[in-house]
Structures are given as structure tokens and as C-alpha cells.
Structure 1
Amino acid sequence: MPRPTRILPSLLLLLSLAVPGQAQAQESSANVGAVLHSANQVLIDLKSILDLTTKTEQKQWENIEGIIETFLFGIDRKRPLGVKVILGGDEERFQFALPLTSLKEFIDENLGGFEITSRRVGTGLYKLSEQKETLGYMRHSKGYVSISEHRAEVAVVADPRRTMADLLAKNYSLAATINNSAKQQAARRKSFGPIRENLLAALKAKKGETEADLVLKKTLLSFELGEAERFLVESQSLTAGFRIEPETTQATLDVDLTAIAGSGLEKSIQSLATTPSHFAGIPRAKTAILSGRIHHPLDTFRRTGLQRVLAAARNAIHGDIQGQTEATSAQKTASTVVLDTVVAVIQSAITKGMLDGFIEVQPATGGANVMVAGIRTVEGDRLRAALAAVPNSTVATSVALDSTETAGVTIHEVAVPEDLQADFAVLFGDTQIVLVGTSADAAWCAAGPGALAALKSAIASHSTPTDAQPDPVFVDLSVKVGPWLKVLDNQLGADEGAADRKLALKAFAQGKDTLQLQLRRDGKRVMGRTTLGTGILRFFGKKMAEFSKENFE
């Protein structure tokens, strides 16, 4: 069994990567602080998750609690536990602040249980060793011990009730905060370089992937790393807090970001929520299995990165088209027309600096769902040429152009390809038709029972109301996970992960399997909240019981 002094660093290593450059910057003052509300709260949270499962699965609590308690000898279960990641040398260092009920029990039963010996070397100061190898130092004072690798770092015993008071006041079960120095941006950016290089170098082509596929994966990863670098280099503070709400049995993760003044990240934040969405007038469905809104201006940094990803995606898809040995030359040419037309429309929107769209999927008649979606475009009516080329392409389906028109939007009918009809029917019933609307400033899509009426209604109400104000919420997503996981499970069949998918579907069958994400601008800050519904927590409880049965019995 791993030692507790090694478990916490392992957990926090992921968090410490959030400021990788600081780990090598000799003069950086950045640090990561994390706090657990209490050991009792951890036990309460875990049991509340397990209590969502079956009576048989709940019997695993005795084993789970017993394992956790082996780490709690001498620990005060009612007071907070703190961890500080000290960044600024050749490597990260960890300092722990643990509340004690008994120093002797902690030394004899907790440390001693993992063959860690302690020798008193000063007033309240102890040297920790394993088989004569020095592991670190521990200082005890006023009911807390501080543990660190270096003696100088335990000169003062930290008390999380004081150092993390703001986060504790919010009643998070687990919270963490990162603070960056504005003066160390260049050092952090420089230190991020090797991490970027190593991650990109580790990305290899899988069996069946072409060179263009690998280039796409690397381009996408490079874009994601660029985003991560900017957030982690240019953020002044980043705080995250997790808790399980006892009243609703839902979990929430809150995020609070403030950028360094004058940074590109700050300018990006300032561009948010300054204009209403093109689709502000479209009502939200209260019973949706998928409801999404995004209204996000793209700055130069993101426009450049997305254009590179789009170009790499175009090349990879074009390579797949050309590699279809059973397709004729004419089919490949038509497919290329479809591809290049769609890419050109997307490029125009990115160049304009807009990412503005919505989607609503809600229950309709007969157990099926109806979908309506839209996205802002530049000269979006060019998409008609792409639709016209589809019947002659490698996609075996038919298209009825210009089937109807409403409010300046031309609506076309696209038949669902035969190989997708079974999965399509799971969500949208037997209609097997997708409606595509084209216009200069937006592209539209609808499917399912009553799709045409729903699409016309959305188009009629999409014009921004004259009194519409910018919405501070620039990303708003709500997903009922079960229906989408069912489609994925049908596609993947007996592939790896099938057992977990079946377990999740069983957990979601009782409902409340909703995942929600919301990001909003609040002045100079970006605040976010992710909410996991009871059904998702039930799945975690089932996995917990499964792990306990396999490993602790």
C-alpha cells in the first residue's frame, strides 16, 4: 500500500502542472495551495455517493471506510488539511499541514505503519526517515504538523484555517488556488517550451493513420497547449472548488480566473459579453436532452490557431477521400467540392472572429427527439454548392435542394446515409431526413418529428431583439448524458470500455444524468461552474463499489 506522504504529492502533481514554468524559474513566487475541508467531509462525500447505489453495492462501504481509516491514525478528522506546492526551484516541493489529535499516535501508528521513523532534532521538530534515508522534516505546534522535504520550509507550522480561510468559507470539500507573479511571465513561458516539445514528440500515429492524420493530431494538440500556456502564464489567479450539495445530491466544480493586467488573456476576457448573440431571441427548451449556447469573440491568437487546425483537418479529410479505392474519380472530385466549400465558409467565420451558435434537442412524440441548431456564418449561402455536390460524392445519399424558404433562409432536405440510419433513429425516430438552412449570415439544421415547424419557429425568432443586452454567460451547456451514451455504446459494441458504458447506462436509467457547464464574465474575471447530476454520481458510486469488491475483499 502506498505511503500517505507519497499519495498526496501524486494527486497534486496534476495541479502543479498548471504552472509548469514556475517549477524551473529560480525567482518565481507562484505557488499552488490546496485544502481539504476535513477527513470527515471526505468520508461523508464518499458515503453519499455510494448511498446512491444498490443495497448490495452499499455493503462495500465497510471495506472502503476501513482502507481510508488506515491513513487517519492520529489525524483530527474535523479540521482542514492543507497542501502547498512550492514552485521556484529545480523541481516542485510539497508542504503538508495536517491536524492532529495525538502526535504520538500519528508517529507510532500512521508514520510507523508505513515504516517511516521519526527522530526529534529540536523543539517540536522531527527528522523523518525510511531505512536510514532522510525523507523530510516535520514540525508540530498547536495541534498541526507541517511536513516538507526541506527543514527550512517547516520553520513555521501552517494552519489552513488561516492561510485558506477564503476557500474554507465557501464550504468546498476540496479547493485549490494558483497565484502567479506578473514579473515572471517570460520565465513561465520559457519553461513551458520543453513540456510542449515532449508532449508533441510523444504523439505517434496509430495503426491505420496516415501522415496527414498525425499532422492533424499534432496541430490540434499544439493549439490546445497554446491555450493552456496562455491561461497558465498570463493568469494572475486561478481558483477551483469542489463540493457535493447535500440537498440535491449534485456535485459542483467552481472556477474563478483573473488575468494579469495588460496581458493578451486580459484583453480576450474584456472582449467577452460585449454584444448580444445573433440567436439571442431563440427560447431555450426546458426539457432538452442537449441545450447549448456559445457566443465567443475570437482574438488574433485563437483565429490563427483555429485556421491552422482547420487547414490540417482539410488535408486529413482530403487524404481519406483520395484513399477510397472503390470511389470513382468523379465521386472524389465531388467530395472535394463539398469539403472545400464547407472549409471556406468556416474560414470566413474564423477570419471575422466570430463563434456564435446554439443547439436544442428536446423530446418529441413517440419517444423521439427534435433538434434545431444554428451557427453564425459569413456568406453562408455558399453552402448550397456543397449540398448540390453531395449526391455525386462518396456519401451515398440524396439531397432535395430549395425545398422551401422562410424569412430569407432557404431550406434543403438531406437524406441520412444508410450506415447512419440506425443510430439516427435512436435519437430522432424514423424521419431519416436532416433539414439544412442556408443564408448569408447563418446556417441552420433540424431533424426529428416536427423538424420543419421547429426550424421555421427558430428562424422567425432568431433576430436579435431591439432591447437585447449582452449576456454575461458566453458558454452555456446542458447535456442529458444517457441518450448520447446509448448511441455511442451502439456504435462501439464490445470495444474496450463496454462494461463501464453498460454500468453507466444502468446508473443513468434512474434519471438526473445531466451535466451542466456555464462560463460567464464578471468584470475582469471569468467564472465557471460545472454541475454533475445525481445519476452521474451514482455511476461513480457503482465504480467505487466495483473497485472495492475487486481489490479489498
Structure 2
Amino acid sequence: MMNLITRLAPALALLLFCTSPAIAQTPQDPQITIQHPGFQVLKKDLKSLLDLGTPADQKQWSNIEDFIDTFVAGIDGSRPFQVQLLAGMTPSGYLAALPLDGGFQTFRDNVEGLGYELKRDGKDTSLYQFNMTLDSDQESTPGAAAAEDVGWMKVLADVDYLILSMSSTRSSMPQLKELTLAKKVADSGTGTGAVMQLINPDVTEAAQKHRRSSFTASRKTTMDAMQKRPDETATRFEMRKLSSNLMLDEVERATAESETLQISLQMDHSAPTTPKVSVQGDLAAIAGTALATALQQFNTRPDAFAGIARLPGSALSLRINHPIDDMRKAGMTSFLNLVRDEVSAKLKNGSQRPASEKEAIDGVVTDIVTHLRSGIDSGWMNIFVEAVPDGQGGFNSIGAYNAANAATLTEILPRMKDMHPGTQVELNVDKAGDYVIHRVQLGEGLLDVFDRLFGVRRDTFVAVGKDYVWLASGENALDTLKKTVAALAPPAATPAAVHLEVALLPWARQMSDYYSRQTPPKEREALTAWKAAE
């Protein structure tokens, strides 16, 4: 039955924090709950995401739907369900409230058909104990303990819900029974999106230390599972590991030091061909913690780009006006250094590349990373990006970022011409207020990701000021850049430190275009036919 929940809610799995491997659930452990409006909504959301893929991806939907339906027989898909992660149990446990479709019998028949054994309690006829020995390689391993799903079910006939608790160890059964009998469904959720909520009832320093200690083993398990991929460079593997560690740093701090945390996720289907996903968060930190100090810095500086509205048809609209505390500063600096090493190594990897180009690459990449680090070292990040599809597989883009030594970029740009044949740099092509505008066109093949995002041999205009740098590319990029800078309103406070709106379909199509060029001819023909039929 453990698999019943974990398999049925793949879209929610990313909202679960790492489990705490303490000896038993205690008041010091976080209470983590997911509420979802129902399996009908879940299936609709999953299908919308799959529809953004290739024809081969879309054909998988019938198999996915059949698989889900196999496990939800007897569950009312139109009503909300709730899953609570029992952090602190070893192994971790789950407590769920599932809406029944016309009583318990259909659900019971399905569960027993899947191989679970149910036994009614001798005193409470609405309470059932269940177990199943899972099929695994352990059965053929002498001396290995059999893997099990065990737990309790409580039928609440008055509201037509089932309370279900589960774990994979029989030693947790007494505690699971207690939790099952105490569980209520009044707060199972009535919204239209998924909501993850974390509550720390105990905010003492001892409880925070307990949660950090518990998290250490979860971090080790996650990191130990990461393996270097065959086609992955050593530096890129280190980047991937560092990215995971930085994410785990954020999760650990939120798990240990937040009083409450709520994340909601909702998909808007009002335009069937362009579904939108909205993610919102709300966090209250425990007073006196590093997290509380970090949150107090929010909105203490005005946003230089607060007056820029989202462009019509934008596929990517990003606003960041975010403080960078010491923890994030150290992590971001380490990551930038790895990016420097990886990009430099990749660009120099051509056996035919002259030594002079390799030397130029090393110098330019190092100086650009130093330039970007100046913004991080300032303790603040202020960024905006707008990217609008151009109808030809590319994007018309404009953006800006803060940099304490922005002017040094003017010294770096001319040296880019020495990195690769065909790279063009023209300084002082125009002005916009206090900004001096330069033109850059990278030589084809210098940086694949740049060619994919901005197009081959397309001009990028770089406007350099005292504390900010602007970039624009695509059709009428120079004119758009000048008009946007001229119309910029004074800095102002903004309600959110990070605001991101993404239209998934244009990006999915662009990635499809890119990968179609990497596939064999027959697969490429199929993709071309699919695009022509759209």
C-alpha cells in the first residue's frame, strides 16, 4: 500500500521534503502534509504536461492512465485526498485520507486483487489491518528480510472517506494504529490545486538541532545515490552534485528553522493548448534563526525593474529582487567557479583550436565569471528577463542584471573576438540614457547553448551602466532595448522576491527542434510530420 500513494502522486513527489530517519515520530519532527483536489485533476494535469512532448511521449498517456486507474479503483476521483509524511519514522510512514466511491467494498476488492491481505479488527468493525509481502529480489536472497507494506485502514462511513496509514515495518504498527484512529478529514482540502504544508510544533533550539541531525542521513542517502554518467565530464558531475547540495541546504534550513511553510501548485487549463502552472509559497521562520534573518532582508531594497510589465506573448517572464545571505553567497560562488571551469574546458576542447584562442577563452571566461560574482558579493540579486517567441523557432529576448563592477564588461567584450573565428564585437554603437550600448555576435559553434537560445549569427546588444548591464537579442533588439531603458520607471518595492511565469509549449517545441537534429533520419521525419500537422 506504500506504493499505492507514492505511485499515484508523482506530480506531488517534488513537494515532499526529505524524510527524517529518527527513531520514532516525535513533536520535534516536522509535520508534512500534501492536499490535492482529486485524482481527476491529477490525471488532467499529467496529460497536459505529456501533450507538450513528442508524438511518442503522447502515446504513453493511455498506459499511464490505465496504470493510475488500476490503483484508484474504489476512490472518488472528484473529491480531495490528503497524504501526510510521517517524518521521524524508520522507515518513513504515510497517513492518507482517501475519498471512497460509493462505500468501501469496491476499494477493498481492488486492494485484495492487488495482493494485499486485510483483516478486520475484533473490536472495531470499521478498522482493518493490512499487509503484503512485496515481490522483490529479496525472495531469492537467503537470509534477507522480506519487504512488506503494512498498516491500518479506518472506514469513515458518515463522510465516505478511508483513513489509511502505512509503513514497511511491523514495529510501527502500534503507532500507525493510534494515528489512524485520531485522524480527521475535515481539512482534506477543497481548493483546485495541490498544497504542501510543513508545520514545526516545537520551535526550540533543541528541536531545530534534532531536525538538522535527522536531515544529515537523508542528505547522505541522496548524495550517495548520485553517480557519474558515462557522457558526463568530471566538472559537470561536480556541478550536479553541488546543485543538489545547494538545494538540500535550502531544504534543511526550511525544515529545521521554519515555523510554517506552505507551497501551492495549480495548473490553469483555461487555454487547453497552452496550460499554465502557478507555484506560490508562504514561509514563517522561527524567530532568532538564520532563516528569520534572511527573510528580514526581503524587500529592503527597491526593485530597479519594478515598472517593467510582462511583454505580450512572453514565454519567459522573470523578476528577481532577492537578498543573498552568506550561505547562498558561498554556494553560488562555488557553482560559478565550476561553471567557469566547465565552459572553459568545453570551449578549448577542439583539437584544431589554436593556442591563442584557448588562451583568450581562459581569460575571457574567468573575467566574465568575476564580473558576475561582483553582483553576488554585493549581497543582492536584481534581475529581469523577458523572452517572446519570434515564430521562427527562436526568441526575442531582453533582460538586465546588477553588477557592482558593471563597467569592467566594456574591457572584456573586445577580447571575445580572439576566442573564435567569426565573433564580432563593436563598441559604442549607441547610447540609452547613461548606458553605453555595444554589439556582440558570437561565431557559429562557439557555444551551442547560445546558438540554440539566441540563434546563429544573431546580434546581441549589451548596454553597460554603472551598476547594471542590459542585454537584448532578436528582431528590433536595439530599438527595444533603447525604448525599454528610456521608459524605465524609478525603482519601487515589489510584493515578491522572485516572480516567474513560463509558457511551457514554446520551450518544449524548441527543445524538440534541437533534439530532432540529433536523432536518426527516420525519427527526424516523424517529428517533422508531427510539427507540420500542428
2:290 aligned partner: 264
Q: Which residue of 2 aligns with 1:6?
A: 3
**Cα contact 2:436–2:465 (8 A) shared by 1:** yes
Deviations, residues 210-265 of structure 1 (Å, cap 9, x unaligned): 44443333333322322222223222223344455575555544433332222222
Partner of 2:186: 162
Cα displacement string for residues 9-37 of structure 1 (whole angstroms, at most 9, x for unaligned residues): 45579468504336556633422223444
Give the 3 Å change call, closer, same or farther, for CA 421–486 of structure 1 in structure 2. farther
Q: How has the CA–CA distance of structure 1 residues 71 and 223 changed in structure 2, closer, same or farther, with 3 Å as cutoff?
A: closer
Q: Structure 1: 5+ residue runs without aligned partners?
A: 511-553
> Alignment partner of 2:445: what SS?
helix
Aligned equivalent of 1:153, options 149, 172, 176: 176
Query: Which runs of structure 2 are paired with 1:244-283 in the superposition (5 Å)?
Result: 250=275, 252-283=278-309
Separation (CA, whole Å) in 1 of partners of 2:394 and 2:59: 38
Equivalence for 1:527: none
For the pair 1:491 / 2:495, whether they are aligned, the reply is no
User: Conserved in 2, the CA contact under 8 Å of 1:489 and 1:501?
Assistant: no
Pick from 198, 204, 212 the counterpart of residue 178 of structure 1. Answer: 198
| Corresponding residue number in structure 1 for 2:115 | 115
Residues 21 and 191 in structure 1, CA contact (< 8 A), matched pair in contact too: yes
The verdict on how the C-alpha distance between 1:141 and 1:202 changes in structure 2, with shifts beyond 3 A counting, is: closer
- Residue 335 of structure 2 aligns with which residue? 309
Check whether the contact 2:2–2:94 (CA below 8 A) recurs between aligned residues. no
Deviation at 1:342, TM superposition (A): 0.9
Partner letter of residue 192 of structure 2?
Y
Shift of 1:317: 3.2
Distance 2:335 2:228 in 1: 17
The change in CA–CA distance for 1:387 and 1:366 in structure 2 (over 3 A counts) is same
Which TM-score applies when normalising by structure 2? 0.77
Q: 198, 223, 228: which one pairs with 2:251? A: 228
User: Which residue number in structure 1 is paired with residue 93 of structure 2?
Assistant: 93
Paired positions, count: 496
SS of residue paired to 2:90: coil
TM-score when scaled to structure 1? 0.75
Q: 2:130 aligns with which of 125, 128, 131?
A: 128
Question: Does the C-alpha gap of structure 1 residues 261 and 25 become closer, same or farther in structure 2, counting only changes over 3 Å?
Answer: farther
Q: 2:425 aligns to what?
A: 399
Q: Secondary structure of the equivalent of 2:317?
A: strand
Structure 1 CA distance, aligned partners of 2:250 and 2:532?
33
> Given the superposition, is the C-alpha separation of residues 508 and 225 from structure 1 closer, same or farther in structure 2, using an over 3 Å criterion?
farther
Deviation sequence 1:53-103 (CA, Å, 0-9, x none):
9xxx99999998776665455556665443332222322122333444434
**Stretch of structure 1 that moved more, 145-154 or 270-279:** 145-154
> Is there any run of 5+ residues in structure 2 with no aligned partner, and where?
134-145, 167-172
Using the TM superposition, give the Cα deviation of residue 475 of structure 1 relative to its aligned residue in structure 2, in angstroms.
2.1
Compared with structure 1, are the counterparts of its residues 425 and 390 closer, same or farther at alpha carbon in structure 2 (3 Å cutoff)? closer
SS in 1 for 2:427: strand
Per-residue deviation, 1:159: 5.8
Query: Match for 2:151: what amino acid?
Result: G
- Partner AA of 1:102 in structure 2: G
Q: Say if 1:506 and 1:225 are closer, same or farther in 2 by CA, change over 3 A.
A: farther
Match of 2:261 in 1: 238
| Bigger RCO of structures 1 and 2 (CA < 8 A, at least 6 apart) | 1
**How far is 1:8 from its partner?**
0.8
Alignment partners' CA distance in 2, 1:318 and 1:375: 23
SS of 1:21's equivalent in the other structure is coil
Matched residue SS, 2:176: helix
Q: 2:480: which partner in 1?
A: 454
Partner of 1:20: 19
Change over 3 Å in CA distance of 1:254–1:500 after alignment to 2: farther
Percent identity between matched residues is 27
Offset at residue 454 of structure 1 (A): 1.6
SS at match of 2:154: strand
In structure 2, the CA distance between the partners of 1:265 and 1:486, relative to structure 1 (3 Å rule), is same
Task: Kindly state the Cα deviation for residue 507 of structure 1 after the two structures are TM-superposed.
Answer: 9.1
